[in-house]
Structure 1
Amino acid sequence: MNLFRSSIRPSVIPRSYLYSSFLVCRTQINPQRTIVYMDGLTKDDRITIAPVRTEYAARLDQTYTEVEDAWRRLTGEHAAAFELPRELLLQVFTHKSFRHGIFPYNERLAFYGRKLFTLQIALLVSAAPSESLTAIAGKDIDAVTAPTADHLLHSRNPIFNVAKASQILPLIKWKSAKNFEDVLTAPPRKSGLFEAGSQTIFASIGAVAMHHGGAKAEQFVRRVVMGGPYGILKVSVTS
Structure 2
Amino acid sequence: MSLNAPRSALSSACKALQRCSSGPAHSITRQLGHQIRQLSASPSRNTEAVEASEQQDRPRWSYTPERMKGPGFSINIPKDPRRTVWHCNEDPAKLDAMYNRLLGTNGSNMLPAEIKWLAITHKSFDHGRRGFNTRLAYFGRQILALETMRSILVSPATAAEHSIEDPFGREPFQHPALANIDKLNIRQPQDIAQKEKLAKLAIDIGLPEVIRWKPRLPENLDASGLTVVLNTTLFAIIGAISLQHGAEVAHRVVRDRILRRLGA
The TM tier, using the shorter chain, reads 0.5 to 0.7
User: Cα deviations across residues 112-159 of structure 1 (Å, max 9, x unaligned)?
Assistant: 000011000111101134596567536421222424644236x42222
Change (3 A) 1:140 1:78: farther
Q: Matches of residues 143-158 of structure 1 in structure 2 within 5 Å?
A: 143-147=183-187, 149-152=189-192, 155-158=194-197
Change (3 A) 1:102 1:136: farther
Match of 1:174 in 2: 213
Q: Does 1:73 align with 2:114?
A: no
Aligned amino acid, residue 233 of structure 1: G
Aligned amino acid, residue 64 of structure 1: P
Match of 2:263 in 1: 233
In 2, Cα distance between equivalents of 1:139 and 1:88: 41
Q: Matches of residues 33-72 of structure 1 in structure 2 within 5 Å?
A: 63-72=91-100
Which of 224, 231, 234 is residue 257 of structure 2 equivalent to? Answer: 224
User: Cα deviations across residues 65-99 of structure 1 (Å, max 9, x unaligned)?
Assistant: 2211110011124727x711111111111111101
Which of 197, 203, 227 is residue 230 of structure 2 equivalent to? Answer: 197
Change (3 A) 1:85 1:139: farther
Aligned amino acid, residue 62 of structure 2: Y
Number of residue pairs matched by the alignment: 184
Match of 2:23 in 1: none
Q: Which runs of 5+ in 2 are unaligned?
A: 1-39, 73-89, 163-171
Aligned amino acid, residue 63 of structure 1: D
Match of 2:203 in 1: 164
In 2, Cα distance between equivalents of 1:104 and 1:187: 22
In 1, Cα distance between equivalents of 2:241 and 2:257: 12
TM-score by length of 2: 0.59
Match of 2:117 in 1: 90
User: What's the Cα RMSD here?
Assistant: 3.4
Change (3 A) 1:87 1:24: closer
The alpha-carbon deviation at position 64 of structure 1 amounts to 2.2
Change (3 A) 1:24 1:125: closer
Change (3 A) 1:113 1:175: same
Greater relative CO, 1 or 2 (CA 8 Å, sep 6+) = 2
Change (3 A) 1:116 1:179: same
- Identity of counterpart residues, as a percentage? 25
Q: Which runs of 5+ in 1 are unaligned?
A: 27-36, 38-61, 181-185, 235-239
TM-score by length of 1: 0.65
Do the aligned partners of 1:135 and 1:141 also contact (CA within 8 Å) in 2?
Answer: no
More strand by proportion, 1 or 2? 1
Which of 126, 129, 141 is residue 181 of structure 2 equivalent to? Answer: 141
Match of 2:137 in 1: 110
In 2, Cα distance between equivalents of 1:105 and 1:92: 7
User: Cα deviations across residues 130-189 of structure 1 (Å, max 9, x unaligned)?
Assistant: 596567536421222424644236x42222121111111110000102241xxxxx352x
Do the aligned partners of 2:197 and 2:262 also contact (CA within 8 Å) in 1?
Answer: yes
Do the aligned partners of 1:128 and 1:139 also contact (CA within 8 Å) in 2?
Answer: no
Whichever of the two has the greater Rg, that structure is 2
